[in-house]
């Protein structure tokens, strides 16, 4: 009797929220290092800095994502953030202490709740158990939807509110940068072969995608590269 051939094991699939910034791009590199078939999701939520969507496409190609999709959820309909409402100025030249003193005007109401929900929908269709995103300690000092407590609560919600969860298949929220500094993220990105010149972190870039150099995101990125003793191309090839 001929022996039965074993079916090849299904690859571990993950949905990676990819904004095109340094953090989410590093998370994609981590997922690829760990053997995941990475399906990247970018979200056009009405953000002013559309250049990040083009950056996400570049990074997904460079890091060998299995697929990359962009979803449109128009949070700019509601405004309430400097990232979605051009009438609200993006803060510039702030100290790190000032950045962490309160919830900044660059907070987009419910953004991570919405993005994770869209990623969850795709994960359920793909049969992916893991959702990756690039939140970290520097962010959750000011953004409530980057806190570990929020991620744990969403993970429970994902299990309770999905067909897959009701059938016993759980979902895991992966935030590998959660406890890392920007310098640590820079070192990890470079160690994993990510070209930071493909990414854009700026909240208020110029018409050609060049970083402003003075918004919170630019200042924190510059500090991270300086502390990691690494050179940042600052999107010079965009």
In sequence order, what are the residues at sequence separation of 6 or more whose Cβ sits closer than 8 angstroms to the Cβ of residue 231? Answer: 225
Q: What is the pLDDT of residue 1?
A: 47
Q: What is the pLDDT of residue 169?
A: 87
Q: What is the pLDDT of residue 102?
A: 84
Give phi and psi for 130, each to the nearest 5: -120, 135
Per-residue pLDDT of the chain (238 residues; tens, 9 = 90+): 455 666 556 779 999 999 999 999 999 999 999 999 999 999 999 998 888 999 999 999 999 999 999 999 999 999 999 999 999 999 999 988 888 778 899 999 999 999 999 999 999 999 999 999 999 977 666 889 999 999 999 999 999 999 999 998 889 999 999 999 999 999 999 999 999 999 999 999 887 778 899 999 999 999 999 999 999 986 443 3
The closest alpha carbon to 136, from 186, 174, 178, belongs to 178
User: Given the structure tokens 């128009």, which residue do they identify?
Assistant: 74
Q: What is the pLDDT of residue 12?
A: 92
* Beta-ladder partners of 43: 71
What pTM does this model have?
0.91
In sequence order, what are the residues at sequence separation of 6 or more whose Cβ sits closer than 8 angstroms to the Cβ of residue 110? Answer: 75, 145
Can you say whether the dihedral through the CA atoms of 184, 186, 191, 193 is positive or negative?
positive
User: Is residue 192 exposed (0-12), middle (13-18) or buried (19+ Cβ within 10 Å)?
Assistant: middle
Q: What is the pLDDT of residue 189?
A: 98
Q: How crowded is residue 51: how many other Cβ atoms within 10 Å of its Cβ?
A: 21
Q: What per-residue string of b and e applies to 74-112 under the rule 16 or more CB within 10 Å gives b?
A: ebbeeeebbbbbeeeebbeeeeeeebeeeebebbbeebb
Domains and CATH numbers, the chain: 13-227 (3.40.50.620)
Record the tokens describing residue 38, joined without a space. 């990475």
């Amino acid at each position: 009797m001929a022996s039965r051939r074993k079916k090849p094991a299904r690859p571990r699939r993950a949905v990676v929220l990819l904004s095109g910034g340094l953090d989410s791009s590093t998370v994609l590199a981590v997922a690829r290092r760990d053997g995941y078939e990475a399906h990247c999701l970018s979200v056009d939520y009405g953000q002013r800095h559309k250049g990040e969507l083009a950056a996400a496409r570049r990074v997904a190609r460079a890091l060998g994502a299995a697929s990359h999709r962009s979803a449109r959820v128009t949070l700019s309909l509601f405004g309430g953030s400097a990232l979605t409402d051009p009438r609200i100025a993006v803060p510039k030249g702030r100290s790190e202490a000032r950045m962490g003193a309160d919830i900044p005007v660059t907070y987009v109401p419910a953004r991570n709740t919405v993005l994770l929900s869209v990623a969850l929908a795709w994960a359920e269709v793909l049969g992916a158990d893991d959702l990756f995103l690039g939140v970290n300690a520097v962010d959750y000092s000011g953004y409530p939807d980057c806190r570990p407590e929020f991620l744990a609560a969403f993970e429970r919600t994902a299990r309770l509110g999905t067909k897959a969860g009701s059938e016993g298949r759980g979902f895991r929220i992966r935030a590998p940068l959660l406890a890392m500094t920007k310098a640590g993220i820079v070192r990890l990105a470079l160690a994993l072969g990510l070209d930071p010149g493909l990414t854009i972190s700026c909240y208020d870039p110029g018409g050609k995608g060049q970083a402003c150099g003075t918004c919170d995101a630019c200042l924190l990125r510059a500090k991270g590269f300086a502390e990691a003793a690494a050179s940042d191309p600052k999107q010079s090839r965009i």
